[in-house]
Amino acid sequence: MKKKILVLCTGNSCRSQLAEGYLKFFCGDRAEVYSAGIETHGVNPKAIEVMKQDGIDISSHTSNHIDEYKHINFDYLITVCDHAQENCPFFPSQAIKLHHNFPDPAKATGTEEEVWQQFLLVRNLIKSYTEHFVIENLK
């Protein structure tokens, strides 16, 4: 039976979208992967572009609210920012809860190149985290 994984962030626009993209890539058909936010901000265009640069297309992803998934019994709930972990409303699930706080690339400041470098950094951190998650949990 496929595992069900939910990645949760504040606005479901960057970090959770990157994690969803990589988890789908690394899991293949071993899991159903979803992402959501405690708010919805739309998918950040730079998140789409930084993933495209690594060969993963998340352009069809949507920004979803956690309430949309209350009916799904998840095996894993991964929060990717402290704000989501601290402010997540009650979510009826027996899921194994994991947390890793990644910097928010959407809040990066500086030149266009400096902002882009932050997106690359966060993408690579999330790629490494998700790859290790799959190796450790979906054998």
**Residue 54 DSSP label:** T
The pTM assigned to this predicted structure is 0.94
Catalytic residue among 14, 15, 81, 123: 15
The yes-or-no answer on residue 30 being catalytic is: no
- Catalytic residue status for 9: yes
Which domain, by its residues, includes 56? 3-137
Q: What is the CATH number of the domain that holds 37?
A: 3.40.50.2300
Give CA separation, 19 vs 15, 109, 110, 111, 113, in Å: 6, 22, 25, 25, 23
All residues at 6 or more sequence positions from 2 whose CB lies less than 8 Å from its CB, including other chains: 29, 30, 31, 32
Count of the separate structural domains present in the chain: 1
The tens-digit pLDDT sequence of the chain (139 residues) is 899 999 999 899 999 999 999 999 999 999 999 999 989 999 999 999 999 999 999 999 999 999 999 899 999 999 998 776 666 655 667 889 999 999 999 999 999 999 999 999 999 999 999 999 999 999 7
Q: What is the pLDDT of residue 70?
A: 87
Both tokens assigned to 6: 């939910």
* pLDDT attached to residue 1: 83
